A = this chain, B = another copy of it.
Amino acid sequence: MTTSESTGSAKPAPKDPWDLPDVSSLVVGVLGGTGDQGRGLARRLAEAGQKVIIGSRAADRARTAAEELGNGVEGADNAECARRSDVVIVAVPWDGHAATLEAVREELSGKLVVDCVNPLGFDKKGAYALKPEEGSAAEQAAALLPDSRVTAAFHHLSAVLLLDPDIEKIETDVLVLGEVRADCELVQALASRIPGMRGVFGGRLRNAHQVESLVANLISVNRRYKAHAGVRLTDI
């Protein structure tokens, strides 16, 4: 009995990074759920069996969009969407990001927030990265929502593919960033419910800026190759 396993002093075996929690009972809210990205995500998550509530400033707009999506999707104003959800995806345009989060700060208290906003500027040369004062959209969310658990994910998905009814699988990885492993794993599990997608841990929030702004490069790729490019990581 001299092996390290028997002494009690050995390190525990590392946790399998692909062993993710069951998230099927969580309610997912989508702020900005009437935009293309928000509706696309809501649609795919609802099709995968998740209970989804889309939020908008105007509850009736959200309800109309929800009816079109079907699969049990509900619509509500942003505050109700946040209050009734366990996980809240933030899919608003960058220029409404801070104001939207400040308006529902109370309702997001204690919630798992998933920021998927890409701060970009556009000119005649195409798209380029904007650098938020806080470092990234996700870090801005973390600064504005000190009582929430903030992560970042779903940056590189094409709204066109998400909304195309003829596409059953979206072969791509979803990089999930955050400070707390258990929170990231919930979001990874959520992403992995959508056929073709894998939720992959992608680092801490301080490394969110480059993930958010890589969308500017994907826009260049799409233009050159007439595609809807996504990202897969190799060797994992």
* Interface residues, chain A, with chain B CB atoms under 8 Å away: 17, 125-129, 131, 158, 161, 171-172, 175, 177, 200-204, 206-207, 209-211, 213-214, 216-221, 224-225, 227-236
User: Which residues of B sit under 8 angstroms from A228, Cβ to Cβ?
Assistant: 235
Across-interface contacts of A229 in B (CB, < 8 A): 233-236
A175: chain B residues within 8 A (beta carbon): 217
Task: Using A128-B206, A214-B210 as known contacts, say yes or no to A221 and B234 having CB atoms under 8 A apart.
Answer: no
A225-B234 contact in complex given A204-B220, A216-B210, A217-B202, C-beta closer than 8 Å: no
B200 and A221 within 8 A (CB): yes
A236 to B228, CA, bound (A): 8
With A126-B203, A129-B210, A203-B216 already in contact, the answer to whether A230 and B233 are too (CB < 8 A) is: yes
CA distance A236 to B17 in the complex (A): 29
For this complex, 25 residue pairs linking A to B, each with C-beta atoms less than 8 Å apart, are: A125-B206, A128-B206, A128-B207, A158-B235, A171-B235, A175-B217, A177-B217, A201-B220, A201-B225, A202-B217, A203-B219, A203-B221, A207-B220, A209-B213, A210-B210, A210-B211, A210-B214, A210-B216, A227-B235, A228-B235, A229-B234, A229-B235, A230-B235, A232-B233, A232-B234
Q: Which residues of B contact A201 (CB under 8 A)?
A: 220-221, 224-225
Interface SS of chain A: mixed
- Residues A234 and B125 in contact, CB atoms below 8 Å apart: no
Contact A17 B225 (CB under 8 A): yes
In the complex, chain B residues whose CB is within 8 Å of the CB of A207: 127-129, 213, 216-217, 220
Closest chain B CB from A124 CB (angstroms) = 12
Q: B233 contacts A234, CB within 8 Å?
A: no
